[in-house]
Structure 1
Amino acid sequence: MKLRVSVATLVFALGAGAGLIGDRCHVITGTTEYLSASHRVPFLWSSPIWFPILVAIATVMLAELRLHLPAVRSTVSVRHGLAGVAAVLGIYATTALLHASPATPITVLISALAAITWCVLGDRFAAVCGALAAVVGVVVEIGLVAADVFRYTEGSDGLFGVAPWLPALYFAFGVVAALVGEIEAEAATPGR
């Protein structure tokens, strides 16, 4: 593992906290609803306890993956990481606020915001992390919807039961998680 344990713990906490905030936005706006199957476990804020844990693990895994890919950048800083986290939370909140909008315009908007996040903060290897997050995250959510753990509101469920904009949200998340890994690499470089 290339991430130091102390940093992995911080990245875990960052992923869990951001996941809780984003999920809270979805729950209070009715974008998503947890069904009775999910109420068998304790909730933290508006989320079943497993939700922030899954997001946190994914954040650490993507940050670690980026450190195993070539060309880790040395030009990124905590300021870039803060911008990335803010971008993902902003995209998450936008999906919550606009979930009742027609699917095509909101999907275009969220995809554009995800692309801007990648163009400004990522590189080609962050795009790999983003694509991996988009595929795995969406497949996991489709499985959870099929298992009646939660559901997306009608009109926001056009992609096998999940929102059509969900891959773009996950892509932005993967790009930013990769960026967080690079920030760790920069901070751990001797003499800096």
Structure 2
Amino acid sequence: MKLSPLRLVILFAVGAFVAPFGDHGHVASGTTQYFPTSTPFIWDGPFWFPILVGLATVANAELRLHLPSPRTTLTVGDGVAGVAAVMGLYALTALVHHQPLVPSTLLVVALAALAWHRFGDKPALICGFATAVGGVAVESALVAAGVFRYADDIDVLLGVAPWLPALYFVFGIVAAQLGEIAAEVR
């Protein structure tokens, strides 16, 4: 581990705290629907969702610090802007639910490329792509297991929306950036 236990806990808390806000947008817009289970809910999502996001935040932060040339010039403001970008993109994916799928997906992918250019670097691409593949795989498995579903008009990529990899990609690069910031904060 490159980060101290305290910094790992802080990064976990950041991911876990902001996750329900984005997820709420998807539930409120009908983009996703969780099926009733014996699992307790936080707001309108299952309690395990923020835990998974917190763990993914920590994993990406640590992964980036094990890759070449972590940046040392990033500030807390860069981290706040990155989190805002993820949350904005998350909100956008909730808002485009009833829009034509191809242009909506193109918009999300284009914004993901811009976010990478602003918040990432070449090593962060590994974090972004790993998160995109892993996130889609986990969500596809949960959809297949009947835990939740995406709306019928957007579930065209292994049961999930085609813009989901781009959303996960941005999350991965921003979580990687948060790791770089956490390593530098004194």
- Between 164-173 and 11-20, the greater mean CA deviation after superposition: 11-20
Per-residue CA deviation, residues 87-145 of structure 1 (Å, 9 max, x unaligned), is 00000000001111111111111111111111011101111100000000000000000
TM-score normalized by the length of structure 1: 0.95
Residue of structure 2 in register with 1:128 after alignment: 126
Cα RMSD of the aligned pairs, angstroms, is: 0.8
**Pairwise mapping of residues 106-145 of structure 1 onto structure 2 (< 5 A)?**
106-145=104-143
Q: Following the alignment from structure 1 to structure 2, what is the Cα–Cα distance between the partners of residues 171 and 48?
A: 23
Structure 1 segments of 4 or more deviating over 4 A? none
Q: What SS is found at the alignment partner of 2:185? A: helix
Q: The residue matched to 1:101 in structure 2 has which SS?
A: coil
Q: Distance in 2 between matches of 1:102 and 1:147?
A: 28
Q: What SS does the corresponding residue of 2:33 show, helix, strand or coil?
A: strand
Residue type of the partner of 2:151? T
Q: CA deviation at 1:18?
A: 1.6
* Alignment-derived partner of residue 163 in structure 1: 161
Deviation at 1:40, TM superposition (A): 1.4
Instruction: Give the Cα separation in 1 of the matches to 2:111 and 2:43.
Output: 27
Match of 1:11 in 2: 11
Corresponding residue SS for 1:33: strand
Residue 30 (structure 2) pairs with residue 30 (structure 1): yes
Distance 1:117 1:49 in 2: 29
Per-residue CA deviation, residues 15-62 of structure 1 (Å, 9 max, x unaligned), is 0112111101101111100013xx211101111011110111010011
Matches within 5 A, 1:11-160: 11-36=11-36, 39-160=37-158
SS at match of 2:26: helix
1:41–1:48 contact (8 Å) kept in structure 2: yes
**What SS does the aligned partner of 1:110 have?**
helix
Distance 1:162 1:120 in 2: 27
Which residue matches 2:184? 186
CA contact (8 A) 1:102 1:155 kept: no
- In structure 2, distance between residues paired with 1:48 and 1:40: 10
3-state DSSP class of the match of 1:40? coil
Unpaired runs of 5+ in structure 1?
A: none
Q: Which runs of 5+ in 2 are unaligned?
A: none
